[in-house]
Amino acid sequence: MSKVPTLRLDRLLANMGYGSRREVQSLVNAGLVTLDGAEVEDADRRIAVTRDLSERMRIQGKPLDPPPGLALMLHKPLGVTCSHKEAGPLVYGLLPDRWRRRDPAISTIGRLDKDTSGLLLMTDDGNLLHRVISPRANISKRYRVDLERPLRGDEAEIFASGTLMLESEDKPLLPARMEVISETSAYLTLTEGRYHQVRRMFAALGNHVAALHRDRIGGLNLPEDLGPGQYRLLGEADLALLLPSLATGA
């Protein structure tokens, strides 16, 4: 059984974006921080950072934000970039302001380009991030692809063959699974993530992707009721769908 980490309250709240340590001290002095219904009197009190801390602690009467170890799914809209630095709207701007001041910072798990919408995962847990993006994890990702021209009929066979070479690369793609929806649309499921891979795969066969949307990662689906720009925290059951090894402790 792993030991529950503890942190001084002022450091914990400062790292979660609630202000400087001095500002956290002021919140405590004003009686605005409670734990299990009782006011916390000392900002230097060590707090056990448990999974249920958000349910037990209140800051100015509101539940504490998710403590470190946060993971969420975001329905990324079109026109938004997965970056901290690029110009224009960023995915981090869709999160609460305070969350952008957290330390460790929240990062995307992989990326979707500006012109792709759909399921994007984000976390402040470096271990989780690396486990998901590791090629050894072999996590599948499914995309809804809408094309400018009708399918020619042999795409599924070529994508599944594991022999398709993209321009300027010297290693063939891993096999991918395609399911036809209509003559101009399909689902494509990949287990790797090369630069603009889906668009380049169809371009290699003489077609152009008009719209691209990711709706599934591993066993985790983008909920129909999660609209563009909205996010939802992930629980243990969600993470087990994403990485079954998390459910077994492997």
Give pLDDT tens digits along the chain (250 positions). 468 889 999 999 999 999 999 999 999 999 999 999 999 999 999 999 998 999 999 999 999 999 999 999 999 999 999 987 778 899 999 999 999 999 999 999 999 999 999 999 999 999 999 999 988 888 999 999 999 999 999 999 999 999 999 988 999 999 999 999 999 999 999 999 999 999 999 999 999 999 999 999 999 999 999 999 999 999 999 999 998 765 544 4
Sequence-distant (6+) residues with CB within 8 A of 8 are: 43, 44, 45, 46, 47
Long-range (24+ apart) CB contacts under 8 A made by 133-137 are 133/109, 133/193, 135/192, 137/243
CA–CA distance, 89 with 155 (Å, rounded to integer): 35
Q: Are 250 and 137 in contact (CB under 8 A)?
A: no
Contact criterion met (CB below 8 Å) for 215 and 145: no
Residues with catalytic function: 113
Residues in the chain: 250
For residues 215 and 235, give the distance between their C-alpha atoms in angstroms, rounded to a whole number: 18
* Residue 245: per-residue pLDDT: 63
Question: What global pTM score does this model have?
Answer: 0.92
**Distance separating alpha carbons of residues 222 and 94, to the nearest angstrom:** 17
Residue 240: count of CB within 10 angstroms of its CB: 16
- CB-count burial class (<10 Å; 0-12, 13-18, 19+) for 74: buried
Amino acid identity at 100? R
DSSP string for 126-145:
HHHHHHHH-GGG---EEEEE
The torsion angles phi and psi of 203, rounded to 5 degrees, stand at: -65, -35
